[in-house]
Amino acid sequence: MKWMLFGPETGIFLAAFFFLILSMWRKPNPARDHMYALVLSALGVAVSLACVGAEGFLFSGTYRLDLFSQVFKVALASGLFLIVCLCASLEEIKKRYRQEFYFFLFVCTLAMMLLVSAQHLLTILLALELSSYSLYLLVTLRRNEDMGLEAGIKYFLTGIFASSIMIFGMALLYGATQAVYLQDLAQVMPELMNSPAAVIGMLLIFGGFFFKLAVYPFHIWVADTYQGAPDQVTAYIATASKVAVIAIVLRVISAVDQNSAYLVHVLAVLSITSMTLGNLAAITQKDMKRLLGYSTIAHSGYVLIGILSVGTAGYASAVFYALALLVMKFTVFLVVVVVSPRGRNLEIEELAGLHRRSPLLALALMVSVFSLAGIPPTVGFAGKFFVFMAAMDKGLFVLVLIAMVNVVVSLYYYLLVIKAAYLNVPRETLPPVHLSHPMRCLTGSLIATMVVVGFYPTPLIQLSEAMARSLM
Amino acid sequence: MIPFWAQDATHAMALLSTLMPLVAFLAIMLGTRSKEKLSAGLSIGAVAVSFGCSFLLLFRLWNLREPLEYSTRWVALNTVEIPFGFLLDPVSLLMLCIVTLICLLVQVYSLGYMAGDPGFSRYYAFMSLFAWAMTSLVLSPTLLQLFIFWELVGLSSYLLIGFWYEKFSATQAGKKAFVMTRAGDVSFLLGLILVLVYAGNLSIVEMNSPGFAGLMPSTMVTFAALLIFGGIVGKSAQFPLLTWLPDAMEGPTPVSALLHSATMVAAGVYLFARLFPFFTLSPAAMGIILFIGTVSMLLAATMAMVARDIKQVWAYSTISQLGFMIMGLAAGGYFAGVFHLTTHAGFKALLFLCSGVLIHTFHTNDLFELAKGGVRRLKIPMVALAVAAGALAGLPPFSGFFSKEAILAVLALSSNPIWLGAGFLGAFLTAYYAFRVIFILLFPPQTATESSDQLSGLPSAPKPSHHEGSSMTLIWPLIILASFTLLLGFLQGPLENFLVKEDKHVLLSHGVLGAWLPFIALFFALAGAGLAWVEFGRQGARQVGFAERVPFFRDLFSQRWYLDHFYRFFVDRVVDRGFSRLFAQNDNRVIDGSIDAMSRGTLETSRFLAFLQSGMIQYRLLASFAVMVLLSLYFFF
Q: Note whether A269 contacts B627, CB cutoff 8 Å.
A: no
A301 sits in which H/E element: helix A288-308
Per-residue model confidence (pLDDT) at position A302: 93
The yes-or-no verdict on residue A300 having pLDDT over 90 is yes
Q: Do B634 and A199 touch (CB under 8 A)?
A: no
Classify residue B181: in a domain, yes or no: no
Identify the band that residue B435 occupies on the pLDDT scale cut at 50, 70 and 90: confident
Measured between beta carbons, the chain B residues lying within 8 angstroms of A153 are: 617
Q: What is the mean pLDDT of residues B441-447?
A: 72
Among candidate residues A407, A433, A237, the one with its CA nearest the CA of residue A351: A433
Distance from CA of B609 to the nearest CA of A (A): 6
Q: What is the pLDDT of residue A189?
A: 83
For B195, counting Cβ atoms within 10 Å of its Cβ (0-12 exposed, 13-18 middle, 19+ buried), the class is buried
Question: Predicted confidence band at B372 (pLDDT cuts at 50, 70, 90)?
Answer: confident
Distance from CA of A58 to the nearest CA of B (A): 32
Tell me which residue of B180, B204, B183 sits closest to B192, measured CA to CA. B204
**Closest CB to B610 among A270, A281, A389:** A281
Q: Do A283 and B606 touch (CB under 8 A)?
A: yes
- Within this chain, do residues B34 and B116 fall inside the same structural domain, yes or no? yes
Whether residue B189 contacts residue B176, with contact meaning beta carbons closer than 8 Å, is answered with: no
Q: Based on the domain organization, do B436 and B582 belong to the same domain?
A: no
Query: Which contiguous run of DSSP H or E holds residue A108?
Result: helix A98-117
Chain A residues whose C-beta is within 8 A of a chain B C-beta are: 153-154, 157-158, 161, 165, 196, 199-200, 203-204, 207, 216-218, 220, 223-224, 262, 265-266, 269-270, 277, 280-285, 313, 386, 389, 393, 409, 456-459, 461-462
Q: How far is A284 from chain B (nearest CA, A)?
A: 6
User: Which residues in chain A have Cβ-Cβ distances shorter than 8 Å to B631?
Assistant: 203, 266, 269-270
The answer on pLDDT for B410 being more than 90 is no
Q: How many domains does chain B have?
A: 3
Question: In the listed set B93, B110, B141, which residue is the last one of a domain according to the structure?
Answer: B141
Q: Give pLDDT, residue B455.
A: 42
Task: Inform me whether the pLDDT recorded for B556 exceeds 80.
Answer: no
Q: Is B609 on the interface with A (CB under 8 A)?
A: yes
Chain A hits for B74, Cβ within 8 Å: 456, 458
Using pLDDT thresholds of 50, 70 and 90, give the confidence band for residue B506. Answer: very low
* Per-residue pLDDT, B594: 79
Q: Do A458 and B74 touch (CB under 8 A)?
A: yes
Mean pLDDT of B258-272: 84
Taking an 8 Å cut-off on Cβ atoms, the answer to whether B621 and A157 are in contact is yes
Rounded to the nearest angstrom, the minimum Cα separation between B26 and chain A is 12
Q: Does B619 touch chain A (CB under 8 A)?
A: no
* pLDDT beyond 60 at B468: no
Which chain B residue is nearest to residue A164, measuring alpha carbons? B625
Task: State the pLDDT at residue B242.
Answer: 80
Segment B188-200 shows an average pLDDT of 86
Please indicate whether, in this complex, the C-beta atoms of B606 and A280 are within 8 angstroms of each other.
yes
Mean pLDDT of B390-399: 84
Query: What integer is the mean pLDDT of B621-627?
Result: 85
CB of B79 within 8 Å of a chain A CB? The answer is no
Tell me: do B630 and B540 sit in the same domain. Answer: no
Which positions 90-109 of B are in contact with A (Cβ < 8 Å)? none
- Are B78 and A313 within 8 A, CB to CB? yes
B78 at A interface, C-beta within 8 A: yes
Residue B70 pairs with which residues in a beta bridge?
A: B86
Considering only the beta carbons, identify the residue of A216, A220, A280 that sits closest to B602: A280
The count of other CB atoms within 10 Å of the CB of residue B29 is: 16
pLDDT in tens, A213-262: 999 888 888 888 898 888 899 999 999 999 999 999 999 988 887 667 88
Q: Is residue B317 part of a domain?
A: yes
Provide the β-strand partners of residue B68.
Answer: B88
Top-confidence range, A62-76, B63-77, B490-504: A62-76
pLDDT at B459: 41
Instruction: Give the model's pLDDT for residue B613.
Output: 61
Please enumerate, as own/partner, the contacts of A394-399 that have beta carbons within 8 Å and a separation of 24 or more.
A394/A309, A394/A310, A394/A311, A394/A314, A396/A268, A396/A305, A396/A308, A396/A309, A399/A268, A399/A271, A399/A272, A399/A305
Residue B27 maps to a domain? yes
Q: Do A456 and B3 touch (CB under 8 A)?
A: yes
- Rounded to the nearest integer, the mean pLDDT of chain A is 88
Tell whether B629 is within 8 A of chain A (Cβ). Answer: no
pLDDT score, position B258:
84
Domain boundaries, chain A: 259-472
Q: Which of B81, B38, B88, B86 is nearest to B58 (CA)?
A: B88
Closest-CA distance of chain B to residue A34, Å: 31
Nearest CA in chain A to B75: A458
pLDDT score recorded for residue A129:
92
Could you tell me where the DSSP H helices lie in A214-287?
222-228, 231-236, 242-256, 261-283
Q: Give the single-character DSSP code of B82.
A: E
Q: Which of B3, B624, B635 sits opposite A458 (nearest CB)?
A: B3
- Residue B609 with chain A: CB contacts under 8 Å: 277, 280-281
CB B339 within 8 A of CB B406: yes
CB contact under 8 A, B77 and A386: yes
Q: Would you list the DSSP string of B144-175?
A: HHHHHHHHHHHHHHHHHHTSSTTSHHHHHHHH
Q: Which of A462-471, B6-15, B354-363, B394-403 has the lowest mean pLDDT?
A: B6-15
Q: How many CB atoms lie within 10 A of CB A264?
A: 17
Per residue in A376-423, pLDDT (tens digit) is 889 999 999 999 988 988 888 899 999 998 998 898 889 989 988 888
pLDDT on residue A115: 93
Q: How far is B47 from chain A (nearest CA, A)?
A: 24
Task: For residue range A420-450, list pLDDT tens digits in order.
Answer: 888 888 887 778 888 888 889 999 999 999 9
Can you give the pLDDT at residue A297?
93
Asked if the model's pLDDT at residue A325 lies above 50, the reply is yes
Pick from B107, B141, B175: which residue ends a domain? Answer: B141
Mean pLDDT of A350-355: 85
Q: Do A409 and B3 touch (CB under 8 A)?
A: no
pLDDT number for residue B401: 85
Q: Which residues of chain B lie closer than 8 angstroms to A282, CB-CB?
A: 606
- Chain A residue at shortest CA distance from B80: A389
CA A9 to chain centre: 19
Is the Cβ of B635 closer than 8 Å to some Cβ of chain A?
Answer: yes
ipTM field:
0.82
Based on the fold, state whether residues B367 and B294 are members of the same structural domain.
yes
pLDDT value at B173 more than 90: no
Cα B272–Cα B273–Cα B275 angle in degrees, nearest 5: 70
The count of other CB atoms within 10 Å of the CB of residue A135 is: 26
Query: Where residue B460 falls among pLDDT bands split at 50, 70, 90?
Result: very low
Confidence band for B447, pLDDT divided at 50, 70 and 90? low
Q: Are the beta carbons of A199 and B627 separated by less than 8 Å?
A: no
If asked whether residues B28 and B76 sit together in one domain, one would say yes
Residue B463 has pLDDT above 80, yes or no: no
Q: Is residue B84 part of a domain?
A: yes
pLDDT in tens, A85-125: 988 887 778 777 888 899 999 999 999 999 999 989 999 99
In a domain, B231, yes or no: no
- Judge whether B197 lies within some domain: no
Closest residue by Cα to residue A319 from A233, A264, A382: A382
With a pLDDT cut of 70, the percent of chain B lying above it is 89
Contact: B624, A459; criterion CB under 8 Å: no
Q: Which residues pair with B142 in a beta bridge?
A: B203
**Three-state secondary structure string covering A153-171:** HHHHHHHHHHHHHHHHHHH
Supply the pLDDT for residue A124: 93
Work out the pLDDT band at B6, boundaries 50, 70, 90. Answer: low
The predicted model gives B2-21 an average pLDDT of 74
Nearest Cα residue to A85 out of A461, A439, A454, A444: A439
CA distance linking residue B306 with residue B174, whole number of Å? 24
pLDDT higher than 80, residue A62: yes
Q: Which residues in A lie closer than 8 A to residue B595 (C-beta atoms)? A: none
The whole-number pLDDT of residue B355 equals 86
Q: How far is A283 from chain B (nearest CA, A)?
A: 6
Q: Scanning every residue of chain B, which has its alpha carbon at the shortest distance from the alpha carbon of A456?
A: B74
Whether A457 contacts A373, CB under 8 Å: no
Per-residue pLDDT at B454 exceeds 50: no
- Residue B31 has φ and ψ, to the nearest 5°, of -120, -50
> Per-residue pLDDT averaged across B221-241, rounded?
86
Domain range spanning residue B572?
564-634
- pLDDT-derived band at A140 (thresholds 50, 70, 90) equals confident
Q: Flag whether pLDDT at B80 surpasses 80.
A: no
User: What pLDDT is attached to residue B245?
Assistant: 82
Cα–Cα distance list, B335 to B231, B297, B402 (Å): 22, 19, 12
Burial group, residue B521, by CB count within 10 angstroms (0-12, 13-18, 19+): buried
Residues in chain B within 8 Å Cβ distance of A266? 631, 634
**Per-residue pLDDT tens digits for A189-219:** 888 888 888 888 888 999 889 998 999 888 8
Residue B162 lies in a domain: no
In B, minimum Cα distance to A454 occurs at B75
Q: Which residue of B has its CA nearest to A260?
A: B635
Of A363-372, B15-24, B335-344, B591-600, which one has max mean pLDDT? A363-372
Q: What is the pLDDT of residue B504?
A: 47
Same domain, B531 and B595: no
User: How much of chain A exceeds pLDDT 70, in percent?
Assistant: 99
User: Which of A118, A102, A461 is CA-nearest to residue B78?
Assistant: A461
Q: Hey, are the CB atoms on B606 and A457 less than 8 Å from each other?
A: no
> Rounded to whole angstroms, what are the CA distances from B460 to A213, A275, A330, B445, B455?
78, 72, 65, 19, 8
**Residue B116 domain-assigned?**
yes
Domain limit, last residue, from B98, B121, B141: B141
With cut-offs at 50, 70 and 90, classify the pLDDT of residue A16: very high
Whether B449 shows a pLDDT value over 70: the answer reads no
pLDDT band of B614, cuts 50, 70, 90: low
According to the model, what pLDDT value does residue B77 have? 60
Q: Is the pLDDT of residue B512 over 60?
A: no
Where b means 16+ CB within 10 Å and e means fewer, B488-516 reads: bbebbeebbebbbeeeeeeeeebbebeee
Which of A217, A461, A462 is nearest residue B623 as measured by Cβ atoms? A217
Q: Which residue would you say has higher pLDDT here, B470 or A31?
A: A31
Please tell me the distance in Å from B590's CA to the nearest CA on chain A: 19
Q: Residue A281 is nearest to which of B73, B609, B634, comparing CB atoms?
A: B609
What is the rounded distance in angstroms from the CA atom of residue B282 to the CA atom of residue B328?
16
Average pLDDT of the residues in A157-186 = 90
Compute the mean pLDDT over every residue in chain B, rounded to the nearest whole number: 80
Least confident of B171-180, B282-291, B466-475, B610-619: B466-475
Question: Is residue A29 over pLDDT 60?
Answer: yes
Give the angle A410-A413-A419 at the CA atoms, nearest 5°. 135
Question: Which pLDDT does position A334 carry in this prediction?
Answer: 92
Residue of B nearest to A151 (CA): B617
pLDDT at residue B462, as a whole number? 45
d(CA B537, CA B531): 9
Quick one: pLDDT band at residue B541, thresholds 50, 70, 90? low
More confident residue, B416 or A176: A176
